[in-house]
Amino acid sequence: MNIRSLFFPALVVCVRTALADSADDTGFTALKNALGPAMLTGAGVGISQVEAEIVSGGIADYLPQAGAGTFAGTGTWAGKTFTAKSDGGTVGAYSFHASEVALHIYGPNTQPSAHPFGWASMAPAIPAVDMWLADKWNDEFLAPGDAAPIVEVRKVQNHAWVKSATAATATAYKDLLRRQDFAIHRDKYLCISALNNGETTAVPDQLAAAYNSLCTGLSNALHSRGGTSSNMDGPGRRKPEIVVPVGATSYAAGYLSSAASLLYEKAATLTSDAEDPRVIKAALMAGATKSEFSGWAKSSAHPIDTIYGAGELNIFNSHQILAGGEQAADPTTNKPLAAWSYLSLAVNGSATFRLNVPAGTYVTELSAAAAWHRQPRDTNSGSPFVLNHPVIANYNLTLLRDPAQGGTAVTIDSSSSTLYNFEHVWARNLPAGNYRLQLGRTNDGAENIPHACGIAWLVQTAPHAPVPVMVRSGNSLTFSFNTLLTGQPYKFQSSINLTSWFDERSFTGGGVISNYTKKAAAGGGEYFRLLPVLP
């Protein structure tokens, strides 16, 4: 079945916009400062880079450096080994787009100021790059027809091109996306895709509408809108899943691929589960920041924001999560505040992760994400290859707080969409106490086969030392409490010697108390303090 004529991939047009602080904004500078000489560089991590075709003089332009077969990079690309997968034995030509995307994936500049246009990567030591033309990748890698997709040997696959179906090609595109999800699940690589540029453009079908990929947009919101199209499986899913503060979506995909490469380099030093793309995807989404976006919002039905996804890429946070190590579910033992797990639940099964925020601190931000795969299967054992379209497993994720007096836990946030194959919970300004992340799988009707899930979380805390404001009027002292956390228990105490303390009031933030008045002690010399206490 040759359907090459149906596909005319378009590159994502690049805008030369310098954002000199992108390394700071995405946590790369913070990670570099934290790791010092042990800084990750992408060493040992291979990449596949898929580029739209640019034809000049009859020669396909899709390479950062012209060449054929497997060849060594020179100049800017010294130390790289390129394999031109789509040249058919002829010399492929240089592509400005491929080169600029490559600068964001594995270029030598790790700080934007090192390049005239602010182009930078996080992973300059990526050693090997497989290059594909997008149409050849559709026809040959995904292999629509009776053959299975080619086995991917690289850890990260980068797509900085877009294409959407018409009514006439919708069925063929659905098949391509199912094949992409099949390949991702079979070969366990992370696929990074891009939206189109421009806030008036529609979400493209390839490859944004794939379930198992990670789709990126721009922190300035100048990317596609509107959810996945009705031509594809699962219409209405919000895209992107994450945003990057660079000047074009092509660059965003490249920079995100470089960040993923750092995580894969770190994962190689941990358990084999750490290298599963579901874990890497969950760590990237859980580590994303939202403080840049005042209107960021999610719901139980839509676990990410309609424009900014899970937030802005932050490699420092995501690395912190991965470095926290793999954790087994346990409802009674406290887990690290930054960590992850890889597990599989049966229908109606659940897993709980207990998180303790100690007295004297509070949660500035808590973020957790769970990701699993759509799992198309070959129902004919490969001869010929026949792909099914299964029901997708459905996991839910809930953040709970245990009350001080016991009893029913309080739901802080929940994510229980039936549309996505990921969930995300998030909260800010939470009091000290015991929290639980509860992952559950519903009676989803999916095939009775394992559906592994990666879950990642990051709890950021800070000291909580609220100070009451005192106003004296004659012999009366009035104290105002204006910096209290809702749900946090407090004790307001007095002392005349700073050794013995008397409880004036006990109350919970968010309650009815807003001020407290008492008579001043005779002779003065009285001290006061407001203490947050553990529930």
pLDDT digits (tens, 9 = 90+) for 312-324: 999 999 999 999 9
Q: How confident is the model at residue 474 (pLDDT cuts 50, 70, 90)?
A: confident
**Integer Cα distance of 271 and 263 in angstroms:** 13
**Integer Cα distance of 213 and 11 in angstroms:** 18
How many Cα atoms are found within 13 Å in the side-chain-facing hemisphere of 86? 25
Q: Average of pLDDT values for 371-378?
A: 94
What is the per-residue DSSP string for 425-443?
Answer: EEEEEEPSEEEEEEEEE--
pLDDT value at 14 more than 70:
no
Range from 45-49, 165-169, 479-483 that averages highest in pLDDT: 45-49
**Integer Cα distance of 264 and 248 in angstroms:** 24
Residues near 90 by beta carbon (within 8 Å), at least 6 away in sequence: 59, 68
pLDDT reported for residue 448 = 76
Q: How confident is the model at residue 7 (pLDDT cuts 50, 70, 90)?
A: very low
Peptide bond into 240 cis (omega under 30): yes
Give the residue from 292, 282, 273, 364 showing the smallest Cα distance to 318: 282
pLDDT in tens, 74-123: 999 999 999 999 876 667 889 999 999 999 999 999 998 888 788 999 99
> Of all residues in the chain, what percent carry a pLDDT higher than 90?
70
Lowest mean pLDDT: which of 14-23, 353-362, 477-486? Answer: 14-23
What is the average pLDDT score of the chain?
90
pLDDT reported for residue 445 = 84
Q: Average of pLDDT values for 456-467?
A: 90
Q: Average of pLDDT values for 126-144?
A: 94
pLDDT in tens, 223-270: 999 999 999 999 999 999 999 999 999 999 999 999 999 999 999 999
pLDDT value at 1 more than 60:
no
Cα angle 132, 135, 136 (rounded to 5 degrees) comes to 50
Q: How confident is the model at residue 25 (pLDDT cuts 50, 70, 90)?
A: very high
pLDDT reported for residue 15 = 47
**Integer Cα distance of 328 and 233 in angstroms:** 33
**Integer Cα distance of 128 and 135 in angstroms:** 22
**Integer Cα distance of 317 and 331 in angstroms:** 25
- 277 vs 92, which has greater pLDDT? 277
- 132 vs 535, which has greater pLDDT? 132
Lowest mean pLDDT: which of 14-18, 238-242, 355-359? Answer: 14-18
pLDDT reported for residue 53 = 80
**Integer Cα distance of 287 and 176 in angstroms:** 30
Q: Average of pLDDT values for 179-207?
A: 97
pLDDT value at 146 more than 60:
yes
